[in-house]
Amino acid sequence: MVVVPPAGRAIAAVVGALLVFSAARSVIGTVIVPRPVGSWLTRSVDKVVSFCYRVAARLIRDHARRDRTLAGQAAVILLGQLVVWLAIFFIGFSLLLWPFEPSITSAFSQAGPAMFEIGSVRLSGAPTRIILDIASLTSLVTITLQIAYLPTLYAAFNRRETEVALLNSRAGVPSWGPELLARTHYALGTGVSTIDTLPDLYAQWERWAADVSESHTTYLPLVRFRSPKPLSSWVTALLAVLDSAALFLALSPKTAPVVPARLCLRSGFTCFGEVARAMDIKVPEHPDPGAGISVTYEEFLDAIARLHEVDFPIERDPAEAWPDFVGWRVNYERAAYAVADAVDAVAALWSGPRTRARPSIPPIRPPR
């Protein structure tokens, strides 16, 4: 049997202390601190689980089946975080025990049961008892915090999905910006336009985007929580609202609610940018106005044709409005597309490409 000298055990104890500190910092930053705190542990779990799910999802072409498969991704990330925290605490405290135990095997066998019990009568020596009692308290606190963490996540999820569900009647399923304008003006065929409700809608989504930006960057697993309906997504919903505001400002600057629409756009592209950067997606903080957008002029004309179907009030020629629309959309398109691809959101119109080619799904419309 190889005998490790005291100096080697002391170095192992230092490594164990660093592991315990890293895991504790990750738990505190993820669950307690109400602001985005970088943690290599939680990010690593998120990346590994997300990679596995993406590989599995690539084999499924039907969107409804793929959505059902991806629905469990966020739950696996949360469970994975807990398992990794406890595993690192276990290894760290075992290494801390090694200088006080005859062998590393003995240290691990002592630390394992102690993770879930306090004050074992089999122990001898104050240092060993202190380390194992701290290990027991640490594991119990970690599990308790993770359980208490779930209501916060689901409260934020419910706030998010309430507005997404309400938008489905206005913007179609899956949501699309021009459809939002067309249906708002058409007003279910009543003959009375409800465009005057758009200022309130943009104000609501300005607050919604600010809420999502704060909650989804602080509690990153929320990004992976999918909508209850397979053709709904918080990403495509926000993108549709922003596109509707950009279109309205570009096509009808005199009729459009300028201030609410601009504030909504500002809050929306800030939300997409902050969420993308929290997911380690590289997007510029200040997009290049000359970069252009992926939506083509022909697709822009198709959107205008949809608005003409319901006699939407358009004040400008499409060629004149196009540069303004591009100027608005360039601010949020790249970040929105990156987040949509990362979470494999439904391939709505104007929602960008996916890692694997997915046919775009137009909004489902009831017969006239």
Q: Of 12-26, 100-114, 190-204, 339-353, where does mean pLDDT reach its minimum?
A: 100-114
Q: What is the pLDDT of residues 68-111, one digit of tens each?
A: 999 999 999 999 999 999 999 999 999 999 888 888 888 888 88
pLDDT at 161: 96
pLDDT above 90: percentage of residues in the chain: 68
Q: What is the pLDDT of residues 102-118, one digit of tens each?
A: 888 888 888 888 887 65
* Mean pLDDT for the stretch of residues 207-222: 95
Q: What is the pLDDT of residues 25-67, one digit of tens each?
A: 999 988 888 877 767 888 899 999 999 999 888 888 888 899 9
pLDDT at 123: 55
* Mean pLDDT for the stretch of residues 292-308: 95
- In the predicted structure, residue 121 carries a pLDDT above the cut 50: no
Q: What is the pLDDT of residues 146-199, one digit of tens each?
A: 999 899 999 999 999 999 999 998 899 999 999 999 999 998 778 889 999 999
SS3 sequence, the chain?
Answer: CCCCCHHHHHHHHHHHHHHHHHHHHHHHHHHHCCCCCCCHHHHHHHHHHHHHHHHHHHCCCCHHHHHHHHCCHHHHHHHHHHHHHHHHHHHHHHHHHHHHCCCHHHHHHHHHHHCCCCCCCCCCCHHHHHHHHHHHHHHHHHHHHHHHHHHHHHHHHHHHHHHHHHHHHHHCCCCCHHHHHHHHHHHHHCCCCCHHHHHHHHHHHHHHHHHHHHHHHHCHHHHHCCCCCCCCCHHHHHHHHHHHHHHHHHHCCCCCCHHHHHHHHHHHHHHHHHHHHHCCCCCCCCCCHHHCCCCCHHHHHHHHHHHHHCCCCCCCCHHHHHHHHHHHHCCCHHHHHHHHHHCCCCCECCCCCCCCCCCCECCCCCCC
* Better pLDDT: 325 or 32: 325
pLDDT above 70: percentage of residues in the chain: 96
Q: What is the pLDDT of residues 223-275, one digit of tens each?
A: 999 999 999 999 999 999 999 999 999 999 999 999 999 999 999 999 999 99
